[in-house]
Amino acid sequence: MEEYFSHILFLDIETVPGMPSYNTLSERMKHLWDKKADSMKRAENDTPESLYEKAGIFAEFGKIICISTGVIVGGKAHIKSFFGHNEKDLLNEFADYLRDLPSRGVRLLCAHNGKEFDFPWICRRMMINGIRIPDMLNIQGKKPWEIAHIDTMELWKFGDYKNFTSLDLLTELFDIPTPKDDINGADVARVYYEEDDLIRIMQYCQKDVVALIQLLRRLNYMPLIPEVNVMYNA
């Protein structure tokens, strides 16, 4: 089973709205966001302006600011991040990294809710930025058994698709130690645009990758990787 884990790239992404605020959108994008926001309204005081903080969940209206990854080599987890303000540069660097992985024996991708969020998000943003999607990530034209993607949320569901189960909840249920963060996913856009603290976001993203690795080990009845064996390379 340890050999199986050595073939996996674990990843997590952090996304934000494509622009700092609704008012900084072009007139065309305002119009398109208005239409999207109409379908999102849940309260009478919801407006396109107030809902724009949620734009980061849509690949068409957001951008990726960080991709953190983890691989296991010799019983140690090596954590590496691709992050920056220039999304195209970040994605090009990550794409080159993915293309090199099969030569190192890494052929599987794993994320929590990856099939619904991380994997399609990365693919869509690569296409928008004119970047050819690496074969490891691209599912177009592949048969289901040819898609080498692992989704820990899907593994947890056992076919029950009624609910979303967060990584945070599963780490608590499986007694996986996680550092206490001063931010969560809902804070990322604010920390990025208002505090300009990309390093803080990258560190938060890396912790989620470590939690992801430990969760997949728990789901396979394997011991956790000791904290001393987690190596942060970025």
The C-alpha atoms of residue 60 and residue 51 are separated, in whole angstroms, by 15
- Residue 132 is assigned to a structural domain of this protein: yes
Are 10 and 23 part of one and the same domain? Answer: no
Q: Are residues 49 and 126 in the same domain?
A: no
Residue 202 lies in a domain: yes
φ, ψ at 19 (rounded to 5°): -130, 160
157, 185: one domain: yes
Say if 65 falls within a structural domain: no
Identify whether residues 6 and 118 lie together within a single domain. yes
Return the percentage of the chain with pLDDT > 90, whole number: 84
Write the CATH number for 218. 3.30.420.10
Residue 46 falls within a domain, yes or no? Answer: yes
pLDDT(234) > 60: no
Domain encompassing residue 32: 19-60
**Element (DSSP H or E) covering residue 68:** strand 62-73
| Whether residues 109 and 197 fall in one domain | yes
Tens digits of per-residue pLDDT, 62-82?
Answer: 999 999 999 999 999 999 999
Q: Quote the tokens at residue 113.
A: 């809710």
Structure token pair of residue 115: 């099939």
Q: Are residues 45 and 120 in the same domain?
A: no
Q: Are residues 110 and 25 both part of a single domain?
A: no
**Domain count within the chain:** 2
- The tens digit of pLDDT for each residue in 156-189 reads 999 888 788 999 999 999 999 887 677 888 899 9
Q: Are residues 34 and 106 in the same domain?
A: no
Q: What is the structure's pLDDT at 2?
A: 87
Residues 201 and 105 in one domain: yes
> What's the pTM value of the predicted model, to 2 decimals?
0.95
Residue 129 maps to a domain: yes
Is residue 111, in this structure, part of any structural domain at all? yes
Q: How confident is the model over 118-125, as a mean pLDDT?
A: 97
10 and 39 fall within a common domain: no
**CB-neighbour burial class of residue 92 (10 A; exposed 0-12, middle 13-18, buried 19+):** middle
* 208 domain-assigned: yes
CB crowding 162-175: b at 16 or more within 10 Å, else e:
eeeeebeebbeeee
Cα–Cα separations (whole angstroms), residue 113 to 31, 121, 128, 216: 30, 11, 22, 13
Is 191 within a domain? yes
Position with higher pLDDT, 233 vs 34: 34
Confidence label for 45 from pLDDT (cuts 50, 70 and 90): confident
In this structure, the answer to whether residues 139 and 34 fall within a common structural domain is no
Which among 168, 190, 221, 191 has a CA at the least distance from the CA of 4?
A: 221
Those residues with Cβ within 8 angstroms of residue 207's Cβ, 6 or more apart along the chain or in another chain: 178, 179, 181
Answer yes or no: do 24 and 131 share one domain: no
